C-alpha cells in the first residue's frame, strides 16, 4: 500500500488495500464503494460527494 494513500486524488478499486482503506474511511462496504466509483468515477471528491461525505 502506498504510504500516502490518503492523499491520492483517485480511488483504485482494483487494489484491495486501497479499497479497504477508502471503504473504512467513508464508513461503507467495499461493494458500496465500488458502486459509487461506477456511478461517479474514481475521484475521491466525487465519490465523497456521492456518499454525502466530506472529501477529506
- Distance from C-alpha of 3 to C-alpha of 29, rounded to nearest angstrom: 22
Residues of the chain whose pLDDT is less than 50?
A: 1, 3
Give the DSSP letter of residue 52: T
- pLDDT the model gives residue 6: 53
CB 37 within 8 A of CB 52: no
- pLDDT the model gives residue 8: 81
- pLDDT the model gives residue 1: 45
- pLDDT the model gives residue 55: 75
- pLDDT the model gives residue 7: 56
Amino acid at each position: 500500500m502506498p504510504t500516502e494513500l490518503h492523499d491520492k486524488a483517485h480511488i483504485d478499486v482494483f487494489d484491495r488495500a486501497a479499497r479497504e482503506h477508502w471503504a473504512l474511511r467513508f464508513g461503507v462496504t467495499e461493494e458500496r464503494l465500488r458502486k459509487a466509483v461506477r456511478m461517479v468515477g474514481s475521484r475521491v471528491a466525487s465519490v465523497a460527494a456521492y456518499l454525502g461525505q466530506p472529501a477529506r
